[in-house]
Amino acid sequence: MDLKRTAIVVHRWLGVALCLLFLLWFMSGIGMMYWDFPSVTAADRLERSPRLRASAIAIDPAPAFAALGTSKPPSAIRLNTFDGRPVYRFRIGRDDALVYADTGEPQRMVSREMVDRIASAWTGRPIAEARVDAMLDADQWTVQGPLRTLRPLWKFSWPNGEQAYVAQTSGDVVQYTTSGSRLGAYLGPIPHWLYFTPLRVASAGVEPRRDLDLRPRDDARRCSAWSSASGCTRPRNAIAWPARRRSSPIAATSGGTRSSG
């Protein structure tokens, strides 16, 4: 088989493979109009937080911040709840420091019992029904860059399909999925972004961004770039080969024979 025929065969079957990939991107793009990758938003936290009782707040923000023993001023202060109690959240640098607004005591350690209560309160399901797994490595739903810095995580799975991921260090619910949200992710964001666990875990050694960046990077980005580059070569070849055929003496001779006949 000569070089020209080999190039034509490669061109043809590469086109078939890439057409399937582009069809996947097109269909998954439609899916992303209706489903997003599961995540915990500020609206989710507000919706699932217990009602904040003003009568339970006994400490002002100034003495609560003084209890932390730091001279660096906070960039933001929020008043909400943690484990059913009112807390001040002082934003210092990139981290939050919690002080209970009812006693003025800083929140230092997160016990396993506290993690169980937080997960149960988030879903409204009994903790006894949940399967609990310690997550030291990423799975399909914790491959986002920010979640890499929060491990170890506790994963709580209920029979109805709800899954809650709680960070051991902070006690916050950092990921929440349902059967429906996971199915929607498989129909939309996961194939569209090549957001498969093996591709993402391979880049776990790269320092992640702190914001919720779901865009492809590292191995997934290279895979996307090479497949896109391969697709770009096909139109160039499709344009170049007919032009070479017309300029070929053999093609001109055969063309003249057909015209005279």
Q: Percent of the chain beyond pLDDT 70?
A: 76
In sequence order, what are the beta bridge partners of 82? 85
Answer whether residue 50 shows pLDDT above 60. yes
| pLDDT for the residue 242 | 56
CA pair distance 106, 253, nearest whole angstrom: 90
Answer whether residue 164 shows pLDDT above 70. yes
Q: What is the pTM of this model?
A: 0.73
Pairwise pLDDT comparison (107 vs 10), residue with the higher score: 107
Which of 97-106, 185-194, 210-219 is predicted most confidently?
A: 97-106
73-101 pLDDT, tens digit each? 999 999 999 999 999 999 998 889 999 99
97-138 pLDDT, tens digit each? 999 999 999 998 999 999 999 999 999 999 999 999 999 888
Burial class (CB in 10 A: 0-12, 13-18, 19+), 99: buried
Pairwise pLDDT comparison (201 vs 12), residue with the higher score: 12
Closest to 123 measured CA to CA, from 48, 39, 182, 52? 48
The dihedral of CA 130, 134, 139, 141: what is its sign? positive
Pairwise pLDDT comparison (179 vs 206), residue with the higher score: 179
Answer whether residue 168 shows pLDDT above 60. yes
Contact (CB, 8 A) for 99 and 68: yes
220-235 pLDDT, tens digit each? 555 555 555 655 555 5
Q: What is the rounded average pLDDT of the residues 170-198?
A: 91
| pLDDT for the residue 233 | 58
Q: Which two tokens stand for residue 256?
A: 């003249």
CA pair distance 236, 15, nearest whole angstrom: 12
Considering the chain, what is the average pLDDT of its residues? 81
| pLDDT for the residue 222 | 59
